[in-house]
Structure formats: C-alpha cells, structure tokens
Amino acid sequence: MGDPGALRIRLPRHRLDPRFILWRTLNTFFWAVGVLGVLGTCYWYFDGVRTWLEPVLWVVGAVFLANLLCMPTYRYLVHRWETTDDAVYALSGWISREWRIVPISRIQSIDTVQGPLERALRLATIKVLTASHEGAVKIEGLDRDVARAAVERLNEAARLVPGDAT
Amino acid sequence: MSADPVHAPGPAPDPGSPVPESAVPESRDPEDTGAGPEDSDVPWQRLDIRLVWVNTAKLAASCGTGLAGFLLFPGGVLWPLLLVAAWGVVSTGRDFVRWVFTRYRVTDERVERRTGWLMREFRFVQRDRIRSVSSSAKLRHRLVALRVIHIGTGQATHVRSTFKLDALDRDASERLRRELLPDDQPDPREGETVISRIRWSWLLYNVVHIWAVLSGGLFVVSTYFSLDAVGIDLIDVLTGLYTDVRPSLWAAVGVAVGTLFVLGVGALAADFVAKHWNFELVRATGADGAGTALLTRRGLFTTHTVHRDQRRIRGVHLVEPLVWRWMRLTETKVITTGLTAGLSESADLLPRAPRDEALHVARAVFDDGRHPLEEPLVRHPPGALRRRLLWATYGPAAIAGILWWLGDTGVVATTAWRWPLYLLPVAWALAVVAYRSLGHALVGPYLVVRSGAVNRSTTVLLHGAVIGWRVHQSIFQRFGRRLSIGIPTAAGSRYYELHDAGVDQGLDFISSVNPELAAQFLTSVGEPSSTDSDATVATGSEQSVPDHSTAADDISSHR
C-alpha cells in the first residue's frame, strides 16, 4: 500500500467523554430554538418579509435539523486528543478536519473552561494558549476529572521546560 | 507564565523621598524581585527642561498665527481658533507638570520611572526583559536636540511601547540606549554597512494608488475647515464656480475625481517625503563583532530610528500587489519578536520598491549567506487549481441564483441575475493567478510559503520560530488528497499559512521543519502503528478513556 517512507498523520490516542454528544446536542438545540424563534416571530408579525423569509426559514431549519441529528455523534467519532511529554495534540472537526499540535515548550498558559451546560454534565474544556492566538488548542467535552488530571500534568510538564522560547 | 514587567498605576512615591514604603505595583511574576523602587543609591534624574521651553514657544507660535489670521480676516469663525489655543494651553501646562513630577533612573536591575501629580504612577522594567530601545523626535524636539525614548519588552500582548521617556537630551538618550542594550546596539558610528538608501524614483510607486482619491478628499475637508476659520466658505466658492461654468454632470464628476486624485497624490507625496527623508537601512555591528542589528533611520520633521536585534529576527515577509506585478513592486517587512509587526510601521524594511531591491534587502537580513527567497518553489497539486476555479465559478453563480430568485419575487430588477455572470472571466483569471502563486520551499533553516491572488505574499520563516502546527483538511481536500497547514509563530503577524499542498508535500514539510515533533505524530506508512501500545504514558487517566483508534480513520498519504 504505497511506498514505505511516505508519511501519514496518526490519530491522537483518546476519545472525548461520550456525554460530549448530549452536550453538543443540547447546545445546538438551544441555538436552533433561539435563531428559528427570532426568524419565526418576524415571519409571524411582518407580512412584507414573508415572500423571502419562507425559503430562508426552510433552509435554516434543515441545516439545524441535520446539525442536531448528525453533527454531535459525528464529531464524537472524529474528535480525539492526547498529551505527551512534550506536546499537546488534538483532532477536531466533522465535515472538515483539523489536527493541532503545540509543543509544551511553547505553551504560555493553560485554561480550564466550564459553561453552565458543561458544569451540569460534569464536562470541561481545556484551552492551551501560545504566543500566537491562532496556535491555541481547544479540547472540548472532556470529563471534568480527566480534564483536571490532564491540566495538572501539562502544568507540571510546562514547568520543567524552560522558557516559551519567543 | 506570561510575566508582565510593566505595572499599572499604583500608589507612587513622593518625589522627594528616594525609598518610599507605599509603592506597591501589582506583579504577577514571582521572579520580580521587589514591588517598589529598589533599594539603590542610584540618583533619580529629571527629563530635559528644554522640553518645557520648546512647548511654550510652540504654543506662542500657534496662538500668534491664529490671532493674526483672525485680525486679518475679521469675518471668520472664532471657535476653532479658541479650541486650538485652549488645547495648546492645556497641553503645555500638562507638559510642565509632567516635567516637574517625572523622575527616572537606571539601576543594575531595572529602569524605573515615576510620574504624575494627582495620579501618581510608578513603573519599572526589568532590564533583562528589555527587547528594544528606539527613539523618535518631532520637529520641535529636533530644534533643541531632544529625543523621545521608547523602551519595549517582548510581550505578545503589549501593543503600545511599554515605557516612554519624553524627552531627553540627544546625547543622554544615546548613552541610555547603549547602556540598556549594550550588545544589540553598538555605537552607530562603528561598523555600519548600508544595505539600502532611499531612491526618489520610489516616490512614484508609493503615491499612485486608489487611496489617493480618499486622501485628496480628506485634504479638501481639512482645507474647508481651515478656510472657514478665515471667513471663506469653500462650498460657496465651488457652487459659484459650478453655476458659472455649467459643465455636464459627467464632466463635473470627472473633474472632481481628477482634482481629488491629483490633490491626494500631492498629499501622499508630501507625506512620503516627510516620512522617508534620508531613509537608510543599515546593519550595525558591535565593536567586538558580537551583536548585530538592523537599523532604520528616516524622517524629515519627525525622525525615527528603529533597531531590530538580529537575534530576534525570525524572517521576512514580501507582499506583491497584483496591479503592480508587471512593475515587480514589492513591500518588504521583517518578521521579528518584540515589535508589534503587521500593523506597525517599524516592521517595514523598505517602502514599496522594485522586487530586486527587496531581494537585495532580504539577502542582507539573513546573515548566514542563504537566499531562501531566490530558491525555486514547489508547485502544489493541480487539484488546488480545480478547487480555485470551482470557487470562482460557484461564487458568482450563487449570487446570480439569489438575484434571479429575488428578481422573480420582484425585489430587484429581473435582469439583475446576469450581472454577476459578467464577473466570471475575472474570477477565473484570479483563480489561475491564485494557483500560480501557491508554493513552498525548505531552504536550510528557513521555510518559505507563498500564496495570494490580489496580494501575493511570500513568507520566509526560521524553523525555530514555528510554535506549533495546525493541519486543516476540508472534505474536498480529503478527496483530492491535499491539506492546508497553519504555522503559528510568536513573531510578525503571528500566523502564516501553507495553502492546499499535497498530503505528501505537507507532511514532509512538517517533518523537515520539526523532525523530533513529527516523529511522534507522523508515522511512515510501512511501519505498523506502534504507538497504541504505550498509551499509559499519555495521561494519568487512560483507563477511563477507551481507545478505538483504527488505521482507517487516519489520513494516510497512500491508500
């Protein structure tokens, strides 16, 4: 299967917590209720906009339905993460994919973020920040304890590596 | 981890007592040795008093001309002059107060400054955090040989210069600069090689562009207000002219735009001359040949000197606008940490100039004798061209579709859907241009990436400056076996991209730039994916995280 020596990018080792699916579903659901609610109210009250708002409503509704049914599970199957002794590595996306690698020596700070929904579901998001905003890595939907252990580990590792080398 | 050596206004010492107890600037850095001024018997110093005299003189001059104008044209409007005079009085007074209450000193550990009358402020910079010391001077500073000193640290978050001393005697400022950064900034008179000097033919390249009309407009607006102050209403004059001549509408518009353009070109030319007078880019070498720096000097009324330490330089960024490609015009920026490049002018190595000059400067930036910008670039796979042609087709097509539907429902004209289709040939041409500018190369310790249609930008970056990787693959790229690579860095605009490379090209690129890191995440197709077995080293909690990795999910460069 191809020449030896050609490279491939391997998968990060760990999946997210399965509650990620529920979290994303609820998230999408609330967004859908908000957006469709506003559009629907406009449709209901203003006659003038109905001609062009109706197809817009259908399209937005279809997109949200697809998002609600497929996206959370699909993302759960794709998203993966891993920390090694000298890097953080994460894969995310569903239709398109993104692999992000940050060497621990270049980490500037590590944040743990929990929104209200995440708190209720005992999930957490880890944000690894570097000197470049675009170089940050965000790992969403980890079990709270797993996230805490990973952050502790990363902080320990980052302490041992001198300087952010900028 | 992001230490902040600069401190917010805190309770500051009484200017009289050298060691106050109450000064407690906040500090997030545990390594900071102390909170207040150091116990040190280095005497505090004042700013130069000439600053106050020259400001007073400036106030007198501006009020005098205003008054004269008002007396000569008594019909004019008074309030702009009053505003100018009031503002002048306030700023002169503030400068005086600032001079009275500002002290600074340079100790072994840090540079300290205290200032403020009602709002006391104490600020210090650890000397080992200082990344740049630059000086600037307005015309009035230069008349009395003063310089404003800007001391910058390498913090990514700090946009402004963190520490300013306004103003010091020219010789004192030169001494201070050499004291603070002895390695980087040698005596400018020893070991200087000139890399580039202004050529006035560049003036043409820098003033003839579309913004000229806009700056002409600004010029007219400001003229309106200045003439208003002496009793001439520009609008009246122009309307009078219009009714006298009675030109056709198109002629009037043509003349107006033409006039604005000419005025704008004039204004831009004046601005360019004022900024780039005596422009020179030199490499300054220390007496012992140790530290070198790239140094820019320029300016007619306000002189600027920018030092860029060679050790902080990470690369070079060239931008070639499409409209000027036939003249090979290029903007040249340096990618360096410590300077807020991208937005700031201090990153500009050259004004817009011919490409040969840009390459000459780039050769001088890289002091290891390599010429990464002159190496041939690797082309990206033809799929990238197809993708761009598709974008160029379905963009206008989608707009046409929406317009057709809107025309059908009577919102816009029924023929409107044809207009975007006329753009198709232009869009296709741009797609081809965009594809032709895609490319990358690896030259010694440098990586080169190039992309862009309207502005072709070429970036040369040191391998060591890369602070992570961001590999992106859309679903179409997955089918076409291509990927895009984002390259975060701490310098310059902090993010550069390699667009639409083949999977092999992209992964080879990563593993050549960062072999040790790549060894962990990129595996050869021939090898078994061995890394699954030692999963226990990854985190402390693997047992709770099931692993379902299958080779089929990987993107592999050969299927």
Give dist(CA B89, CA B506) in Å, integer. Answer: 62
Q: Pick from B337, B521, B546: which is nearest to A10 by CB?
A: B521
> Measured between CA atoms, how close is B406 to chain A, in angstroms?
8
**From B118-127, B310-319, B379-388, B425-434, the region with the lowest mean pLDDT:** B118-127
pLDDT band at B286 (very low <50, low <70, confident <90, very high): low
- Report how far Cα B188 is from the mean position of its chain's Cα atoms: 25
Residue A17 pLDDT grade (very low, low, confident, very high; cuts 50, 70, 90)? very high
pLDDT the model gives residue B344:
62
- pLDDT per residue as tens digits for the range B252-280: 888 888 888 888 888 888 888 988 888 98
- Comparing alpha-carbon positions, the chain B residue that sits nearest to A89 is B521
Q: What does the mean pLDDT of chain B come to? A: 77
What percent of chain B clears pLDDT 90, i.e. is strictly above it? 20
By Cβ distance, the residue of A6, A80, A97 closest to B557 is A6
Please determine, for residue B38, whether its predicted confidence score (pLDDT) is greater than 80. no
What's the confidence (pLDDT) of residue B382? 93
Q: Which residue has the higher pLDDT, B118 or B541?
A: B118
Residue B43 has pLDDT above 80, yes or no: yes
User: Which residues from A are below 8 Å from B472, CB to CB?
Assistant: 96-98
pLDDT in the model for residue B544 = 38
- The shortest CB-CB distance from B556 to any of A8, A55, A85 is to A8
Mean pLDDT of B371-376: 89
Query: Rounded CA gap, A130 and B468, in Å?
Result: 9
Mean per-residue pLDDT, B128-156:
75
Please give the Cα distance from B433 to B427 (Å, whole number). Answer: 10
What is the nearest CA distance from A37 to chain B, expressed in angstroms? 24
Do B261 and B210 meet the contact criterion of CB atoms below 8 Å apart?
no
Confidence at residue B539, expressed as pLDDT on a 0 to 100 scale: 35
Between A161 and B474, whose confidence is greater?
B474
CA geometry: angle at B152 spanning B146 and B153, to 5°? Answer: 160
Give the residue-averaged pLDDT of B155-160: 45
The amino acid present at B119, given as its one-letter code, is M
Each residue of B13-37: b (16+ CB within 10 Å) or e?
bebeebebeebebebeeeebeeebb
- The residue-averaged pLDDT of B167-183 equals 80
Task: Give the pair of three-digit tokens for residue B381.
Answer: 């796979």
- Which residues of chain A lie closer than 8 angstroms to B30, CB-CB? none
Residue of B nearest to A5 (CA): B524
DSSP 8-state assignment for residue B323: G
Residue-level pLDDT at B289: 56
Q: Which residues of A touch B2 (CB under 8 A)?
A: 108-109
Specify the pLDDT at position B84: 78
Confidence of residue B157 (pLDDT cuts 50, 70, 90): very low
pLDDT in tens, B190-247: 578 888 888 888 888 888 777 777 878 888 888 887 777 667 777 778 888 877 777 7
- In which residue are the tokens 């955090």 written? B129
Q: Chain A: nearest CA to B473, how far in angstroms?
A: 5
Which chain B residues touch A149 with a CB distance below 8 Å?
A: 539-541
**Order of strands, edge to edge, in the sheet holding B482-488?**
A14-15, A80-83, A87-93, A97-103, B469-473, B482-488, B495-502
C-alpha span between B390 and B180 (Å, rounded): 56
In degrees, to the nearest 5, what angle opens at C-alpha B131 toward C-alphas B127 and B136? 105
DSSP B489: B
Query: What does the pLDDT read at residue B472?
Result: 94
**Residue B143's pLDDT band (cuts 50, 70, 90):** confident
Q: By CA distance, what is A128's nearest residue in B?
A: B468
Band (B508; pLDDT cuts 50, 70, 90): very high
Quote the pLDDT of residue B162: 60
Per-residue pLDDT band at B342 (split at 50, 70, 90): very low
Order of strands across the sheet that contains B121-126:
B103-106, B110-115, B121-126
- What is the predicted pLDDT for the residue at B288? 57
Most confident of B73-87, B308-322, B365-379, B431-445: B431-445
A138 Cβ contact list (under 8 Å, min separation 6): A90, A92, A125, A126, A127, A128
User: What chain B residue is nearest to A131 in terms of C-alpha separation?
Assistant: B490
- Residue B264: alpha-carbon gap to chain centroid: 24
Q: Closest partner residue to A7 among B406, B472, B507, by Cβ?
A: B507
Of A9, A95, A150, the CB nearest to B555: A9
Option in A130, A137, A146 nearest B541 (CB): A146
How much is the pLDDT for B234? 76
Q: How far apart are CA B31 and CA B280, in angstroms?
A: 40
The answer for residues whose C-beta is within 8 angstroms of residue A17's C-beta and 6 or more apart is A123, A141, A142, A143, A146
Q: Measured between CA atoms, how close is A34 to chain B, in angstroms? A: 25
More confident: B217 or B12: B217
Residues of B in contact with A134 (CB under 8 A): 470, 486, 488, 494-495
> Has residue B446 got a pLDDT over 90?
yes
- CB atoms < 10 A from the CB of B237, how many? 12
Residue of A nearest to B530 (CA): A10
In A, minimum Cα distance to B497 occurs at A134
- Looking at residue B20, its pLDDT comes to 34
CB atoms closer than 10 angstroms to residue B353: 23
Percent of chain B with pLDDT over 70: 78
Q: Considering chain A, what percentage of its residues have pLDDT values greater than 90?
A: 55
Q: How confident is the model at residue B339 (pLDDT cuts 50, 70, 90)?
A: low
Q: Do A13 and B547 touch (CB under 8 A)?
A: yes
Crossing angle of helices B79-101 and B50-72, rounded to 10°: 170
**B521-559 pLDDT per residue, tens:** 888 776 554 444 333 333 333 333 344 444 334 444 443
Distance (Å) from the alpha carbon of B352 to chain A's nearest alpha carbon: 27
Single-letter residue type at B524: S
Contacts of B156 in chain A (CB under 8 A): 108, 131-132, 166
Nearest to A84 among B520, B542, B545 (CB): B520
CA A101 to chain centre: 15
Reported as a single tens digit per residue, the pLDDT across A60-107 is 999 999 999 999 999 999 999 999 888 999 999 998 999 999 998 888
A154 to chain B: closest CA residue: B539
Highest mean pLDDT among A3-7, B75-79, B137-141, B377-381: B377-381
Question: Sorting pLDDT into bands at 50, 70 and 90, what band is B37?
Answer: low
What values do phi and psi take at B328, rounded to 5? 60, 40
- Compare all CA atoms of chain A with the CA of B545 and give the residue at the minimum distance: A14
**Chain B contacts of A10, Cβ < 8 Å?**
521-523, 529, 531, 549, 554
Q: Which chain B residues contact residue A106 at CB under 8 A?
A: 467-468, 490
B3 to chain A, closest Cα gap in Å: 10
User: Quick one: pLDDT at residue B229?
Assistant: 67
DSSP character at residue B287: T
Residue from B541, B547, B554 whose CB has the most chain A CBs within 10 Å, to mutate:
B541
For A31, A61, B428, B429, the CA distances from A35, given in Å and listed in that order, are 6, 9, 36, 39
Which candidate from A3, A132, A152 shows the least CB-CB separation from B494? A132
- Residue B3: pLDDT over 60: no
Q: What is the rounded CA–CA span in Å between residue B68 and residue B60?
A: 12
Average pLDDT over residues B512-529: 79
Partners of B169 in the beta sheet?
B146
Chain B closest CA to A131's CA: distance in Å? 5
Is A146 close to B557, i.e. CB distance below 8 A? no
**Chain B residues within an 8 Å CB radius of A14:** 538-539, 542, 545, 547
Q: Find, in chain A, the residue whose alpha carbon is nearest to that of B547.
A: A14
Q: Residue B522: which of A1, A7, A106 has the nearest Cβ?
A: A7
Strand ordering across the sheet containing A107-113: A107-113, A123-130, A137-143
Q: Which of B510, B461, B458, B463 is nearest to B485 (CA)?
A: B510
Nearest alpha carbon to residue B348 among B395, B404, B298: B298
Predicted pLDDT of residue B148: 86
Q: Find out whether B532 and B549 touch, Cβ atoms under 8 Å.
A: yes
Which has more pLDDT, B306 or B339?
B306
* pLDDT of res. B406: 80
Angstrom distance (rounded) from CA A88 to CA B288: 42
**Which of helix, strand or coil describes residue B237?**
helix
Pick from A13, A85, A158: CB nearest B549: A13
ipTM for the complex shown: 0.90
> Average pLDDT for residues B372-394, to the nearest whole number?
92
**B66-80, B129-143, B311-325, range with greatest mean pLDDT:** B311-325
The answer to whether the Cβ–Cβ distance between B557 and A101 falls below 8 Å is no
pLDDT surpasses 80 at A33 = yes
Q: How many CB atoms lie within 10 A of CB B189?
A: 7
Q: Contacts of residue A7 in chain B, CB cutoff 8 Å? A: 504, 507-508, 511, 518, 522-525, 557
Which residues is B556 bridged to in the sheet? A8
Q: Check pLDDT > 90 for residue A26.
A: yes
Q: For A134, which of B2, B471, B488 is closest by C-beta distance?
A: B488
C-alpha span between B366 and B315 (Å, rounded): 8
Cβ contact A134–B470 (<8 Å): yes
Q: Does residue B172 have a pLDDT over 90?
A: no
Q: Give the integer Cα–Cα distance in Å for A165 and B214.
A: 43
- Chain A closest-CA separation from residue B1 CA (Å): 6
